Structure 1
Amino acid sequence: MTTNRRDVLALAGITMAALGGCTMTDTDDTDSEPSPEPSGGDAPIDGQLLSADVDRAAPAVSDDALEALVDGVNTFSLALLGELADDEETNHFASPYSVSLALAMAWAGARGETETAMADTLAFPHDQQQLHETFNALSQSLEEDTPADGDDEDEDATEFTLRIANAIWGQADYPFGDAFLETLARNYGAGLRTLDFEAAPEPARAEINDWVAEETEDKIEELLPEGSVHGDTKLVLTNAIYFLANWANQFDEDETEDGPFTALDGSESTVPMMHQHLRTRYAAVDGHQVLELPYEGDATMVVFLPAAGEFEAFRDSLDVDRLDELLEATADASGDLALPRFEFESSFSVRDALAALGMEVAFTNQADFTGMLESDESAPSLMIEDVYHDAYVAVDEEGTEAAAATGVTMVPTSAPAETFDVTVDRPFLFAIRDDETGSLLFLGQVVDAGEAQ
């Protein structure tokens, strides 16, 4: 399969409406001048940008390497969809591309079993150096078609924005390694912003959330929920994506009218249905319908309408090969389309889904992220505490607005706690004790639990 610019955009983000992925351009988040001191020591706090003294690289990667990464992102995207869609009666929207990109930054510091498990789960096709260089090349490829401010003669008719921003937020005195910082600065445009999580976790959380809100045009206002950042937090890796595009052929608002929609559980509701007669790429395969809706700019929404009664089976069978088969089956056609207007937001932790897909070790004390630290430091290694994701989508007669953000929070590993197995299946004593004074307030025994029911 030959990968062209349009394929990269379609494949890297999967399909925004049906599967929840979205592709954006990359923004080098280095507005402030970087300090020559990359980490540690008397590093400033309160979000001041620190970075290795490097510029964003412009790597030359092969088409094969780029295609392999796109296929890997797609493989992970479809696997993640299956894990997130367990609640079959709930609408879902996510950007697996954002999750993959944020975790790629964490993977830069992973070693040993952790590195292997994350690569397998995320379907990373390359080694450390090539993976980061290829993500960088993909981001810059997506950036090429985003018009600069003032380039559009008719901004309303050709509105098209793709934007990606990455940032890393670290405890001011933690010994992050220069090599790790350089990798993220060179390939993701992500400089280290130092915060004092230990003394002021809530202001730190607010600052990160404010950054995400700004990068997503206030569509994602609280990526990190209350309690997600605390005194033990040492590192937060963030990715934010924003997408705004008009349809190449917009729907006439006067043609929108209420119509029935039957939910998965069989219940019926009335929703605003947009109508349009259009010429586009379309296919009917085994009773399933596939239709492309191009945007102004280099992006397309692909709508998959499974045959009646076969939604779950279709979704569960959708892998990269099946996706390629369906897309390749589309051909030029004309016809009538009725599409519901919709808008909603999804917010959730991806931790359990990622663990179920195979990278559980990254969330345990056995995690190995020593590649993030200076090799001569005795600070404990880090583990991923959680991966937060928030996504917003609005589809109307003019086009689509979508935003997503991912936050990876990391804390130090600790010595494994002693384990036990206690089954209270024979007579026992119990006490109720005041913690401050040690006074026994109540004391009792149970010699026959059956009589105590």
Structure 2
Amino acid sequence: MKIIFLTTVLLVAEGVWSDESAPTVEIVTPQSVRSQVTPKAPDAQPEGQTSSPTKSPSDSMDYWENDDFVPFEGPFKDIGDFDWNLSKIVFQENKGNAILSPFSVKLLMSLLFEASASGTLTQHQLRLATPTISTHYQSREFYKNIFNGLKKKSNDYTVNFGTRIYVDQFITPRQRYAAILEKHYLTELRQEDFNKAHETTEKINNWVANVTNDHIKDLVKEDDVQNSVMLMLNAVYFRGLWRKAFNRTIQLPFHVSLNESKTTDFILADGLYYFYESKELDAKILRIPYKGKQFAMTVILPNSRSGIDSFIRQIDTVLLHRIKWLMDEVECRVILPKFHFDLATQLKEPLIKLGISQIFTSDASLPSLARGQGLANRLQVSNVIQKAGIIVDEKGSTAYAASEVSLVNKFGDDEFVMFNANHPFLFAIEDETTGAILFTGKVMDPCL
């Protein structure tokens, strides 16, 4: 009998447009795009604009509170290995834009870990999703810390998440298993009549839409209900405001390949950011924090315009963790394309490549799922399907600058860093209080 996993996630990342914060100076673009724009002398300012200030924005009383970044260290600090290894496979299989919630997939694997028989190959393989966790107690403590962080109420960000298991009405779930999921994993178990496929599908999709603020409405199809006896779903919605507002929108070329570029909207901000340039990875790494001192986006930009594929092949989670400790806070101009896309991904094959294979076979050992030895021994996973989406922009921006912009160093010092994400890059969204990676993504073409 088949179990289908469906995870759905939606990320919205925005800056706040403010007339007071909007700069009155010419926009600055990096040296690399000088040949594509018309330079202007520094004193040739458009009417109504002033010359560029020479002091750092950090000298201003209006500058945001110091961002004292300390990378997460804890008993489960290596928990991100699975996240990046899964992302690596998904990014290689999807040649275009891609987004994934490793946290969502890992959570569902942990629900199966709770149902697996002790000492079996099924249990051993499911532990690969959380390799530093070896017991049910450790798993419950790990998610307790994450859930406590995600449940915090804040005016600076919104996090909605929910997990449900829908089972056909002829299946009687084990009460102990249901109680464990409700208490330790905030997961609700519901019985529905799967013979009424249309009605059940509508109920499930309404729940998903509610969690994701109507961004994802049709995750489950009637065939999914008709062809399974159990559906396990996790939905995550994150909406964050940049801690430092992106206060300008400009149009610049994004190089989708060595021979092709597309003009698109970029958002721009100046300020202090944690940054590192890695010789080992041949890439620049930038951390962009959200308001609330809990979440941050890490952007990984290969130095070469055609370097994204080789970078993905050599992703090293140990090195990525070490780089976080090597990052310094520097004066930086950040130029990031707006992008909005989603992706439906079937994760059965990527999980098999990572060694989690037996849950998809008749040898799956998941006796704690349901009463009745005969039924429990016949339950197996048919697929893991995730639909994820992301929106990155600045809220309420309606003014666009011309594509011809002048080039000067606004800060006037040698430590100034230009981070221009004008070719394919990776990103990750992390809860820095727990080390949980909520999202990873690859931007190949922001125009799509």
Q: TM-score range by the shorter chain?
A: 0.5 to 0.7
Q: Is the 8 A contact 2:115 2:367 kept in 1?
A: yes
Which residue in 2 is equivalent to 1:161?
158
Q: Does 1:284 align with 2:277?
A: yes
- SS class of match (1:67): coil
Q: Does 1:201 align with 2:197?
A: yes
Shift of the alpha carbon at 1:344?
A: 0.5
1:107-135: CA deviations, max 9, x gaps? 21122111111212553522123212321
Q: Is the 8 A contact 1:106 1:237 kept in 2?
A: no
Shift of the alpha carbon at 1:234?
A: 1.9
Question: 1:116 and 1:248 mapped to 2: Cα distance?
Answer: 41
Q: Is the 8 A contact 2:12 2:239 kept in 1?
A: no
Shift of the alpha carbon at 1:70?
A: 4.7
Letter in 2 for 1:306: P
Question: 2:275 and 2:296 mapped to 1: Cα distance?
Answer: 13
Q: Is the 8 A contact 1:89 1:264 kept in 2?
A: no
Question: 2:219 and 2:206 mapped to 1: Cα distance?
Answer: 9
Shift of the alpha carbon at 1:17?
A: 10
Q: Is the 8 A contact 1:216 1:242 kept in 2?
A: yes
250, 255, 261: which one aligns with 1:262: 255
Q: Does 1:75 align with 2:68?
A: no
Structure 2: which 5+ residue stretches go unaligned? 1-10, 14-71, 397-426, 430-437, 440-448
Which residue in 2 is equivalent to 1:395?
392
Q: Is the 8 A contact 2:275 2:287 kept in 1?
A: yes
In terms of mean alpha carbon deviation, does 359-368 or 217-226 score higher? Answer: 217-226
Question: 1:245 and 1:354 mapped to 2: Cα distance?
Answer: 30
Alpha carbons of 1:175 and 1:381: their partners in 2 closer, same or farther (altered >3 Å)? farther
1:363-405: CA deviations, max 9, x gaps? 11111111212366666531001111011100012499x9x99
Q: Which has the larger radius of gyration?
A: 1
Q: Does 1:243 align with 2:238?
A: yes
260, 267, 275: which one aligns with 2:268: 275
85, 92, 95: which one aligns with 2:101: 95
Letter in 2 for 1:395: V
Question: 1:117 and 1:265 mapped to 2: Cα distance?
Answer: 41
Q: Does 1:324 align with 2:321?
A: yes
Percent of matched pairs sharing the same residue = 22
Question: 2:328 and 2:204 mapped to 1: Cα distance?
Answer: 45
Q: Is the 8 A contact 2:201 2:220 kept in 1?
A: yes
Structure with more contact order per residue of length (Cα contacts < 8 Å, sep ≥ 6): 2
377, 382, 390: which one aligns with 1:385: 382
Q: Is the 8 A contact 2:167 2:229 kept in 1?
A: yes
Letter in 2 for 1:222: D
Alpha carbons of 1:101 and 1:179: their partners in 2 closer, same or farther (altered >3 Å)? same
Question: 1:304 and 1:91 mapped to 2: Cα distance?
Answer: 15
Q: Is the 8 A contact 1:209 1:221 kept in 2?
A: yes
287, 301, 309: which one aligns with 2:297: 301
Question: 1:379 and 1:284 mapped to 2: Cα distance?
Answer: 52
Q: Is the 8 A contact 1:215 1:241 kept in 2?
A: yes
Shift of the alpha carbon at 1:95?
A: 0.6
Question: 1:313 and 1:220 mapped to 2: Cα distance?
Answer: 33
Q: Is the 8 A contact 1:175 1:377 kept in 2?
A: no
Question: 2:164 and 2:100 mapped to 1: Cα distance?
Answer: 20
Which residue in 2 is equivalent to 1:52?
none
Letter in 1 for 2:202: A
107, 111, 118: which one aligns with 2:126: 118
In terms of mean alpha carbon deviation, does 177-186 or 113-122 score higher? Answer: 113-122
Question: 1:267 and 1:82 mapped to 2: Cα distance?
Answer: 25
Letter in 1 for 2:385: Y
Q: Is the 8 A contact 1:162 1:242 kept in 2?
A: yes
> Equivalent residues in 2 for 1:79-228 (5 A)?
79-87=85-93, 89-111=95-117, 112-123=120-131, 125-144=133-152, 146-147=153-154, 152=155, 159-197=156-194, 199-228=195-224
Question: 2:325 and 2:96 mapped to 1: Cα distance?
Answer: 30
Shift of the alpha carbon at 1:296?
A: 0.9
Letter in 2 for 1:301: M
Question: 1:228 and 1:391 mapped to 2: Cα distance?
Answer: 18
1:162-186: CA deviations, max 9, x gaps? 2221111112231211221111011
1:224-272: CA deviations, max 9, x gaps? 2452221x522211111111111111112xx312111111464211111
Structure 1: which 5+ residue stretches go unaligned? 1-15, 19-64, 153-158, 406-453
TM-score by length of 2: 0.67
- SS class of match (2:106): helix
Letter in 2 for 1:170: V
